[in-house]
Amino acid sequence: MQRILASFFALIGLCVLARAQGEYPTRPITLVVPYAAGGPSDVIARLTGQSMTATLGQQIVIENVAGAGGTTGAVRVADARPDGHTLLLHHIALAAAHSLYGNLRYATLEAFEPIGLVNYGPFVLTSKLGFPADTVAQVLAWIRDNRDRVTMAHAGVGSGSHLCNMLIQSALGVKVTEVAYRGTGPALNDVVGGQIDLLCDQTTNAIPQIQGGRVKAFAVTSAERNEQLKHLPTMKEAGLAGFEITQWHALYAPRGTPPAIITRLSGALEKALAEPSIVSRFADLGTVLFPAGHRGPDAARDHLRNEVAKWERVIREAGLRPQQ
């Protein structure tokens, strides 16, 4: 009798779960962006979130949970109920934090269910207008000769801007003063305002400021020149052999989110990334969408795994110790 009752209640539970998944989403969805409002990740979240809202029939609400190089927002999602109503948009920093932080409250490769890859693109080395250099060769020489006076902004240890700074300093054999912000949005504001010398920023954030003449731009960090910034050389062209760092974003849910919900979310993301207006907007911002057919949950999982291994090697070779 007890076995019959146990089986009965288990069946009821499965039916309730199936019904809940079938009705998903049942309320607004929170999309956590682990950096300050106004930054590049925030822009990407709002572009894709607007389309996904229409597809899913529930509002996607952006929640900026900044701090600790993007790990504070990641913790918020890792600890959330795995019902598809709390999601995470994160980038390269999610992979790098695995090796840069010794006290993470989540296991990077186990805490999240990948939904899909979004976009990738280079960083741009920018400066305040008053910076005493006009070419990338001049700026690199100035950093090398004035290492005690240079200030470089970043969005926290492990953020993409921090990794870019780290690679520049390693290539030049110098250590400069770095200033941490809660996102590259507020960091860029201080570069525009003249309080900070340099910032490695994503094209999505930097291009409007470059086009508006509010910052100087020297080089991109990709292997090839950027379509929207063709006048800028790559860091490799500037003489930093092997220098390459590309920013990328992906969408995640907490571990244990049912496969049916992941499939629904992945489909909504895929629809968003196929919209001509979004494709055009991303191109204007100098970033590229991952190709259709190669940006689903499996591709996102493999990409994260490969990036974790890559940055583990880079950070180890750089001799950096994990933050506590």
pLDDT band at 20 (very low <50, low <70, confident <90, very high): very low
Q: Find the mean pLDDT for residues 130-140.
A: 97
- Mean pLDDT across 60-75: 96
Q: Are 76 and 288 in contact (CB under 8 A)?
A: no
What is the DSSP code string of 166-216? HHHHHHHT---EEEE-SSHHHHHHHHHTTS-SEEEEEHHHHHHHHHTTSSE
Residue with tokens 């057919």: 293
Q: Which two tokens stand for residue 91?
A: 């980038």
Domain boundary among 177, 196, 229: 229
> What is the pLDDT at residue 114?
98
Judge whether 274 lies within some domain. Answer: yes
Residues 21 and 216: their CA atoms lie apart, in Å, by: 50
Q: Model confidence at 270, in pLDDT bands (50, 70, 90)? A: very high
Distance of alpha carbon 270 from alpha carbon 272, whole angstroms: 5
Residues 115 and 253 in one domain: yes
Cβ burial, residue 39 (10 Å; 0-12/13-18/19+): buried
Q: Do residue 75 and residue 130 come from a single domain?
A: no
Please report, as a single letter, which amino acid is at residue 82: P
Question: What is the distance between the alpha carbons of residues 68 and 297, in angstroms, rounded to a whole number?
Answer: 26
- Digit-coded pLDDT (tens) for 27-61: 999 999 999 999 999 999 999 999 999 999 999 99
- Helix and strand numbers (H, E) in the chain are 11, 10
Q: Do the domain assignments include residue 238?
A: no
Write down the pLDDT at residue 17. 46
- State yes or no: pLDDT of 4 exceeds 70: no
In a domain, 236, yes or no: no
Residues 64 and 90 both lie in one domain: yes
Q: What is the pLDDT of residue 14?
A: 43
> Are residues 222 and 166 part of one domain?
yes
Cα maximum dimension of the chain: 83
Confidence of residue 324 (pLDDT cuts 50, 70, 90): low
Residue 3: inside a domain, yes or no? Answer: no
Q: Is the pLDDT of residue 279 over 50?
A: yes
pLDDT (mean) for 56-79 = 97
Structure tokens belonging to residue 302: 């493999």
19, pLDDT greater than 70: no
The pTM for the full model equals: 0.87
Two tokens at 272? 């968003």
Is position 106 within any domain?
yes
Query: Is 113 found in the same domain as 22?
Result: yes
Domain of 86: which CATH number?
3.40.190.150
132 and 272, same structural domain? no
Q: Are residues 62 and 132 in the same domain?
A: no
Answer for the pair 153, 199: CB distance below 8 angstroms, yes or no: yes
Predicted confidence band at 314 (pLDDT cuts at 50, 70, 90)? confident
pLDDT at 157: 87
Shared domain check, 27 and 37: yes
User: Residue 315: its pLDDT value, please?
Assistant: 86
Does 241 map to a domain? no
Structural domain including 262 reads 9-120+248-317
Q: Are residues 307 and 278 in the same domain?
A: yes
Confidence of residue 18 (pLDDT cuts 50, 70, 90): very low
Q: Is the separation of the CB atoms in 150 and 239 below 8 Å?
A: no
pLDDT at 8 over 80: no
Per-residue pLDDT, 42: 96
23 in any annotated domain: yes
Q: What is the mean pLDDT of residues 195-220?
A: 96
What confidence score (pLDDT) does residue 280 get? 96
Whether residues 181 and 283 fall in one domain: no
Give how many domains the chain has, as a whole number.
2
pLDDT tens, residue by residue, 82-124: 999 999 999 999 999 999 998 999 999 999 999 999 999 999 9
Is residue 217 within 8 A of residue 204, CB to CB? The reply is: no
Q: Are residues 154 and 164 in the same domain?
A: yes
**Tell me, what CATH number does 213's domain have?**
3.40.190.10
What is the distance between the alpha carbons of residues 84 and 89, in angstroms, rounded to a whole number? 13
Residue 204 within any structural domain of the chain:
yes
Residues 31 and 101 in one domain: yes
pLDDT for res 319? 77
Average pLDDT score over the chain = 92
pLDDT of residue 1: 45
Write out the two tokens for 56. 């899913």
Q: Using 50, 70 and 90 to split pLDDT, how confident is the model at 15?
A: very low
